């Protein structure tokens, strides 16, 4: 019956291949059309009916600064747990962690010049750095000695005893991404006070980690070794730092620092978790999250209330759209990112003990500004494979001005790297972030509701694609 095709099988095979190619192209086009429409519907839902801004207003204004271990952090745990439960998550629970509770004190810290020939006893507004020790009631006094780097302080260490060390290196404005400038300056805040104390300083002052000249001092963590005395450590605003450096160019400057900080020891706390169970591959987890704690000044709106409400809104959006994920989508609101990382470490430990696998983890911890795309990281053995998988979706994400680049991800999800899944950080426009970071100005009014929603929609879109197609 096949005799008429005898000797000419290539014609049949060619015809079959051509037909298959047309069919495959049509299927691919239909699939892409489906994805285009669904991603568009995500944006429509979030931009027109999102509720994250109202959640953020409650967190940042009614609760306020939420340093780990504080009553405010406990209020935030309760509030977000209630929200995740109310939006219809399959499961909501609190995961325990143990945090160090640093308390700023019942009085605000002060920094003032002592008998300056031009300015007298003028006071400058400061913020104590997280981990700072308390001064004596009379304050820590001494002549100020200025350094541009930790290495300079080490080289000139014999000049330090009995003085107030001042680290004054500013942001390098050549960096297009302000996070790179932050990374190039922040060592003096994190390690400077410990170094100053080792060499006999009475106190330490640092120039705030800010990208512009303004009157807002920035707090942030300083790490003291157990064997090193916790001296008073405070941050000057960039505006006052400029003034102080100019004064020091003219001659010696004496000052006095008063702090009232307390180390209140270890406290039990929790990260808050909610999830939608996957229907086909529930053992594969796609995490989206931010950190629930903040510093105790301001409202922690950009850092990182925004990331938390965006993560909650991702799940809320999928539930409202009646989307049934193939994989488990889990929202994690980590505790203690700012001064200990207890939440991220305890979560990774718990997850590994339960032999979980996070196919992907996405963190939003760079502010609620307009999203520009995503940075991704992974175990070195998986980077190339994941880059190829993500590259397939560029056409779907391009209309929303979202690019995917190799880079960092997030501090809280970093401990999951050993699971060899994809680690992703939402990358918003960074130009204004360090105007608010760790300051009293980080309030709800600094966050634009539309920009906040765009970040939610961006993460929800990427999660949809990963859920639908995996990372092969």
Residues 6+ apart with CB under 8 A from 220: 129, 130, 186, 189, 190, 209, 235, 295, 338, 438
Say if 16 falls within a structural domain. no
Q: How many structural domains comprise the chain?
A: 2
Render each residue's pLDDT in the chain as its tens digit; 472 residues: 333 334 445 555 555 444 444 444 454 556 679 999 999 999 999 999 999 999 999 999 999 999 999 999 999 999 999 999 999 999 999 999 999 999 999 999 999 999 999 999 999 999 999 999 999 999 999 999 999 999 999 999 999 999 999 999 999 999 999 999 999 999 999 999 999 999 999 999 999 999 999 999 999 999 999 999 999 999 999 999 999 999 999 999 999 999 999 999 999 999 999 999 999 999 999 999 999 999 999 999 999 999 999 999 999 999 999 999 999 999 999 999 999 999 999 999 999 999 999 999 999 999 999 999 999 999 999 999 999 999 999 999 999 999 999 999 999 999 999 999 999 999 999 999 999 999 999 999 999 999 999 999 999 999 999 999 999 8
Final residue before a domain boundary, out of 260, 293, 309:
260
Cβ contact 146:241 at 8 Å: no
How far is residue 281 CA from its own chain's centroid? 29
Final residue before a domain boundary, out of 198, 231, 260:
260
Say if 14 falls within a structural domain. no
Q: What is the pLDDT of residue 29?
A: 55
Cβ contact 279:325 at 8 Å: yes
Beta strand 233-236 with 254-258: parallel, antiparallel or unpaired? unpaired
Both 73 and 219 in a single domain?
no
Say if 450 falls within a structural domain. yes
Q: What is the pLDDT of residue 49?
A: 97
Say if 413 falls within a structural domain. yes
Final residue before a domain boundary, out of 204, 225, 260:
260
Q: What is the pLDDT of residue 76?
A: 98
Both 209 and 323 in a single domain?
no
Say if 18 falls within a structural domain. no
CATH code, 127: 3.50.30.30
Say if 365 falls within a structural domain. yes
Question: Which range of residues forms the domain containing residue 115?
Answer: 107-260
Both 56 and 159 in a single domain?
no
How far is residue 197 CA from its own chain's centroid? 29
How far is residue 184 CA from its own chain's centroid? 17
Q: What is the pLDDT of residue 18?
A: 46
Q: What is the pLDDT of residue 354?
A: 98
Q: What is the pLDDT of residue 32?
A: 74
Cβ contact 178:433 at 8 Å: yes
Give the residue from 320, 289, 426 showing the smallest Cα distance to 368: 426
Q: How far apart are CA 287 and CA 29, in angstroms?
A: 29
The pTM of the whole model exceeds 0.85: yes
């Amino acid at each position: 019956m096949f005799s008429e095709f005898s000797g000419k099988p290539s014609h049949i095979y060619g015809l079959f291949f051509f037909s298959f190619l047309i069919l495959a192209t049509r299927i691919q086009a239909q699939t892409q059309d489906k994805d285009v429409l669904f991603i568009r519907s995500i944006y429509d839902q979030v931009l027109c009916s999102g509720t994250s801004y109202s959640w953020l207003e409650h967190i940042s204004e009614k609760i306020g600064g939420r340093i780990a271990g504080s009553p405010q952090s406990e209020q935030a745990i309760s509030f977000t747990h209630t929200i995740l439960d109310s939006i219809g998550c399959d499961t909501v629970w609190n995961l325990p962690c143990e945090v160090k509770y640093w308390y700023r004190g019942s009085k605000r810290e002060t920094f003032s010049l002592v008998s300056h020939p031009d300015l007298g006893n003028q006071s400058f507004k400061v913020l104590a750095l997280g981990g700072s020790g308390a001064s004596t009631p009379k304050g820590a006094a001494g002549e100020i000695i200025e350094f541009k780097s930790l290495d300079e302080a080490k080289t000139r260490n014999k000049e330090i005893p009995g003085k107030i060390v001042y680290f004054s290196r500013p942001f390098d404005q050549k960096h297009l991404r302000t996070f790179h400038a932050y990374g190039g300056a922040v060592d003096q805040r994190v390690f400077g006070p410990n170094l100053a104390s080792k060499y006999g300083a009475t106190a330490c002052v640092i120039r705030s980690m800010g990208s512009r000249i303004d009157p807002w001092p920035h707090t942030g963590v300083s790490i003291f070794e157990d064997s090193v005395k916790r001296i008073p450590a405070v941050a000057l605003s960039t505006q006052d730092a400029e003034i102080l450096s100019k004064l020091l160019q003219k001659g010696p400057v004496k000052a006095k620092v008063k702090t009232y900080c307390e180390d209140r020891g270890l406290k039990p706390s929790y990260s808050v978790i909610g999830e939608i169970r996957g229907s086909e591959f529930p053992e594969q987890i796609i995490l989206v999250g931010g950190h629930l704690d903040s510093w105790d000044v301001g409202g922690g709106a950009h850092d990182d209330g925004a990331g938390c409400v965006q993560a909650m809104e991702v799940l809320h959006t999928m539930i409202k759209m009646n989307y049934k994920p193939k994989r488990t989508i889990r929202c994690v609101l980590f505790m203690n990112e700012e001064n200990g990382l207890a939440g991220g470490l305890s979560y990774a430990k718990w997850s590994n003990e339960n032999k979980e696998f996070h196919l992907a983890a996405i963190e939003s911890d760079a502010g609620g500004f307009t999203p520009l795309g995503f940075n991704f990281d992974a175990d070195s053995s998986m980077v190339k494979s994941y880059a190829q998988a993500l590259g397939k979706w560029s056409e779907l994400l391009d209309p929303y001005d979202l690019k995917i680049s190799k880079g960092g991800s997030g501090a809280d999800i970093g401990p999951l790297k050993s699971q060899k899944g994809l680690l992703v950080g939402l990358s918003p426009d960074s130009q204004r972030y360090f105007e608010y970071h760790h300051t009293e100005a980080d309030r709800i009014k600094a966050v634009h509701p539309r920009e906040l929603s765009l970040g939610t929609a961006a993460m929800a879109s990427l999660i949809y694609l990963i859920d639908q197609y995996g990372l092969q």
